[in-house]
Amino acid sequence: MRRSSFESMSCSVAQTLEVVGDWWTPLLIRDLLMGVTRFEVFQERLGISRNILTERLNRLVETGVVERVPYQQHPERFDYRLTDKGAELWRVIDALRAWGDRWAAPDGAPLELVHTTCGHATESVPTCRECGEPLRRGEMKMVPGPGRTPATPLPRTATPAD
């Protein structure tokens, strides 16, 4: 499923999938966001083999998404915690959850988001950083940015013909 040419694909969606783009990794990040830190607890919650879990956690450590924090010396044992880089993936997990709540949860949301500052059960509403209005799908477009390369996949409106 993985292929090396993803790395040369000048696209931030593809680059993020390099880090979180398999089945288990987003669920690991979900659990890390929910406060899970121990190998055995990930394993139990996900029903995942030790080999796969070790490989995925090592990869998240290598990419700077997760850090190991020792909590015992003999034998050495670690908690796994999200770095700041990793914690910012909350928006990806939130977007996955919100879509699933709407389209794949016929009995209602398994979990609800509470905004502790205002105290309400809520949902996140994506708004424009510049004007503050909610973003709607038909009111957005992608344009080439400063990091564009010939490999950047452009929107069809920017590529004149098939």
- Binding to a copy of itself, residues 134-153 (CB under 8 A): 135, 137, 139-149, 152-153
- Among the listed residues 57, 60, 66, 89, the single contact to a copy of itself using CB under 8 A: 89
Residue 154 interacts with a copy of itself (CB under 8 A): yes or no = yes
* Stretch of 54-62, 71-79, 106-114 lying at the interface with a copy of itself (CB under 8 A): 106-114
What is the spatial distance between Cα 117 and Cα 112, in angstroms, rounded to a whole number? Answer: 15
Task: Indicate whether 72 belongs to the interface with a copy of itself (CB under 8 A).
Answer: no
Encode 45-78: b = buried (16+ Cβ within 10 Å), e = exposed: ebebeeeebeebbebbbeeebbeeeeeeeeeeeb
110 binds a copy of itself (CB under 8 A): yes
Q: Verify binding: residue 111, a copy of itself, rule CB under 8 A.
A: yes
**Do 149 and 10 contact (CB within 8 A), yes or no?**
yes
